[in-house]
Chain A
Amino acid sequence: MTDVKATFPHLGNYFVPLEVLFTAGIEVDYIVPPPITNRTLELGTRHSPDFVCTPFKYNLGNYIESLEAGANTLVQVGGACRLDYYGELHEQILRDLGYDFRFVNIGSTKLTKPLTFYNILKEINPDMTLKNIARVLPVVLKMIQYIDEAEDFIRKNIGFERNPGEFDHTHQRFLLEMRSIRSKKELYNYYIKYMNIFKSIEVDKPKKPLRVGVIGEYYTIMVPFSNHFIEKELATMGIVIDRWMNLTNSVIHDFRPEAKEHIKNYVTFDMGATAMYTIDKALQFAKKGYDGIIHVKSFGCTPETDAIPVLQNISSDYKIPILYFSFDSQTSEIGIKTRLEAFYDMIIMRKEAV
């Protein structure tokens, strides 16, 4: 073991597979960032440029809290939008604040060339072996997929549970125990066991429940704190929540060619980051006759801002209501509640009228 204590900012519940990747695959210690709270956001906001997108602020807050918890190696990735500049800026800000750490920016590699990727992982731990990473990586990828499948099921059912809190508690247990799993076979059995538990949770689901699709920007959609727990809020109103966006669908598989084909009547050019998926899924939810769509993004997210006019066209073509949310570090809770309640009233009144 080295004295490396690596960390990566929170994204949904993926800290579980990430921890396995770092500890078992790269063989270094991993510091799970403390759960995101108001303090995380305050720290991140205080030291970020005011107009940077909100995920940058959350990431920075995670880094600071992880550094406080003993992390000494910070990892960042890149992407097809401003995310590509995050790493450089995070590193500079944290250095200016006087922290001592190593910064490994995967964003600076070309993922299409596996060797550079391997080299950058080597940067985290020079003693890392290819054999080990080849053994652990498939387990990590499966973990991501199973988490995504379980959470998809939860979103569609949690609003109807008989005993409030049952899904949440089972979900927490599912994630906690998964952290010790290291083999694919063990993981598979574990997954089957838990899916059966999830499916056995008693639900009161009407025959034709309200269905709402959630679409939008990568980070805001996957980090409940950053969208004010909008999915949970909606579910408790008794709504089936459908969200396609997750790591399985965006990083492990590449659905971009399909998305582009689906939406060719609406979009000619690639619009960057998640905009194509946003539009593709909106169209799909509309075609499936969903009761409504909710679009979430961080304030100032350019690709998702560009997607909005297209969404408005889909909304009017298919007569499906779309509610737009733009979150930043100072969004008022009551404003979100008011809009969500009105959204619920609108879709239920429409449904009852039909």
Chain B
Amino acid sequence: MSTKLYLGLDIGSISTKGVVIDAQNNIVASEYIWTEGDPIGAVKKLLPIFKEQLGGKDYSIAAVGVTGSARKLIGVITGAAIVKNEITAHAIGTISLYPNVRTIFEIGGQDSKIILIDNGFVTDYAMNTLCAAGTGAFLSSQAQRLGVKVEQFGEIALTSKRPTPIAARCTVFAESDLVHKAQMGHTKQDIIAGLCKAVVANYLNNVGKGKKITPPIVFQGGVSKNSGVIKAFEEAVENEITVDENSHLIGALGVAILARKTRAEDDFKFEIADIDFVTRGAECGKCSNNCEIICIYQDDKLIDAWGNKCEKGTIQK
């Protein structure tokens, strides 16, 4: 009898994450790649990698779960058993690894969130609004400006003895402050450490505002790989911060678990990597609202459409 496995995909704005788990929630395959503005392409790239990682094992993918900002689109093309928002997915994933967790910090490419948990249940959460200050994308662009790889940020930050204070309210201010401080002669490691602190200050002042932060605290998302930010967090909240080795995959893990819980028996094949999917945008034009409707075609056949706000814009399949 073949082993039943479950695929979880987390398609974010910057990166696409995927895990394959077994019935005991053990990760048997995982990968992290850049989305590069093409969620369908990223998923197509991801699937053969899983096939290779799973090798000659006798298995079947019984259910697929999808989360992240492209969840709806990828949910349709993979015929997912469950499509979940990333807040719930992150909470479920974290609770499966750390049942006692009380606070989850998550900083991704374009968004950041805080999730408060009590007795294994989400009691409150918040997500950044209107502004991507203090997220991964900001760190990446500043790394480029400083001529270092963002992956080395953490290491470099830890060598600093005197982090440069950098304005944390807004990335525009932070950036001009950073340029100014660099021209004044502050060292690169001090500036990088200062940036890590700024990210944390921004997070706690915006997303974390008014939330009671109780330990144990788990930190995840792409930015949790940055040891400079971890250190800045620990200093700011005066508590130990746990970062899982798979901290970048927790959303995918959570949605894989939710997929397993649907008890679906779908037998998903990785072959969709070879199927041609095309999306086309169209303006409804039936009223001055001009809803932008997205149509999804599979080998030139319309399989789904959305974007209309009223029934006038419904597209017949």
**A residues apposed to B, CB below 8 Å:** 34-35, 37-40, 165, 229, 299, 308-309, 312, 315-316, 319, 321, 324, 326, 328, 331, 334-335, 337-339, 341-342, 345-346, 349-350, 353
Residue of B nearest to A40 (CB): B288
Among B121, B212, B288, B309, residue most surrounded by chain A Cβ atoms (within 10 Å): B288
The answer to whether A341 touches B210, judged by C-beta atoms less than 8 angstroms apart, is no
By a CB distance below 8 angstroms, the chain B residues around A335 are 127, 129
- Asked if A39 and B289 sit within 8 Å, CB to CB, the answer is yes
A342 touches B125 (CB 8 A): yes
Chain A residues positioned under 8 Å from B288 (CB to CB): 34, 37-40
A342 to B124, CA, bound (A): 10
* Bound form: Cα–Cα A335–B288 in Å: 24
Contact among B87, B119, B129, B287 for A342, CB-based, below 8 A? B87
List which B283-317 residues lie within 8 A (CB) of chain A: 287-291, 309, 311
| Residues in B neighbouring A334, C-beta threshold 8 A | 69
Contact of A321 among B84, B86, B123 (CB under 8 A): B123
CA distance A342 to B85 in the complex (A): 6
Let me know if A350 and B287 touch, CB within 8 A: no
Closest chain A residue, CB of each to CB of B69: A334
Residues of B within 8 A of A34 (CB): 288
* CA gap between A247 and B24 in the complex, in Å: 55
A-B contact pairs, 17 of them (CB 8 A): A37-B287, A37-B289, A38-B289, A39-B289, A40-B288, A299-B130, A308-B210, A316-B212, A324-B126, A326-B130, A331-B130, A335-B127, A335-B129, A339-B87, A342-B87, A342-B125, A345-B122
List the 3 closest A-B pairs by CB distance, nearest first.
A342-B87, A37-B289, A39-B288
Across the interface, which residues of B come within 8 angstroms of A37, CB to CB? Answer: 287-290
Report the Cα distance A65→B119, complex, angstroms. Answer: 53
Contacts of B119 in A (CB 8 A): 353
Are B121 and A326 closer than 8 Å at their CB atoms? no
The answer to whether A326 and B88 have CB atoms under 8 Å apart is no
The answer to whether A353 touches B85, judged by C-beta atoms less than 8 angstroms apart, is no
Asked if A349 and B122 make an inter-chain contact with CB atoms under 8 angstroms apart, the answer reads yes
A324 contacts which chain B residues (CB < 8 A)? 126
Q: Which of A319, A339, A345 has the most CB of B within 10 A?
A: A345
> In the complex, what distance in Å separates the CA atom of A308 from the CA atom of B126?
14
* B residues less than 8 Å from A299 (CB atoms): 130
Within the complex, what minimum Cβ distance (angstroms) separates A59 from chain B? 17
Question: What separation, in Å, do the CA atoms of A299 and B291 have in the docked complex?
Answer: 23
* Interface pair A328/B130, CB less than 8 Å apart: yes
Chain A residues lying within 8 Å of B124, measured Cβ to Cβ, are 315, 321, 346
Q: What is the chain A residue whose CB lies nearest that of B125?
A: A342
Chain A residue nearest to B290 in the complex (CB) = A38
Closest residue of chain B to A352, judged by CB?
A: B121
Identify which of A165, A229, A321, A338 contacts B87 (C-beta below 8 A): A338
Q: Is A350 within 8 A of B121, CB to CB?
A: yes
Q: How far is the CA of A315 from the CA of B291 in the complex (A)?
A: 37
A338 adjacent to B123 (CB under 8 Å): no
Q: Roughly how many angstroms separate A315 CA and B126 CA in the complex, as a whole number? A: 14
- Measured between C-beta atoms, what is the minimum distance from B47 to chain A in Å? 24
In the complex, what's the smallest C-beta–C-beta distance from B61 to chain A, in angstroms? 24
From B118, which residue of chain A is reached at the shortest CB distance?
Answer: A319
Min CB–CB distance A339 → chain B (angstroms): 6
Chain A residues whose C-beta falls within 8 Å of the C-beta of B289 in the assembled complex: 37-39
Q: A216 → chain B, closest Cβ, in Å?
A: 15
If A335-B127, A341-B85 are given as contacts, then 7 extra A-B residue pairs at C-beta distance below 8 Å, sorted by A number, are A34-B288, A38-B288, A38-B289, A39-B290, A309-B210, A338-B86, A346-B125
Q: How far is the CA of A38 from the CA of B125 in the complex (A)?
A: 30
Given known contacts A316-B212, A326-B130, A334-B69, is B123 in contact with A346 (CB within 8 Å)? yes
Query: Given the interface contacts A38-B289, A39-B289, A312-B210, does A342 sit within 8 Å of B88 by beta carbon?
Result: yes
Are A319 and B123 closer than 8 Å at their CB atoms? Answer: yes
Measured CB to CB, the nearest residue on chain B to A41 is: B289
B85 touches A345 (CB 8 A): yes
Docked complex: B48-86 residues within 8 A CB-CB of A: 69, 84-86
Contact of A345 among B69, B88, B291 (CB under 8 A): B88
Complex CA gap A38/B122 in Å reads: 35
Residues of B within 8 A of A40 (CB): 288
Residue of A nearest to B210 (CB): A312
Q: What is the bound-complex CA distance between A195 and B101, given in angstroms?
A: 49
Q: A39-B288, A345-B85 are in contact. Are A338 and B121 (CB under 8 A)?
A: no
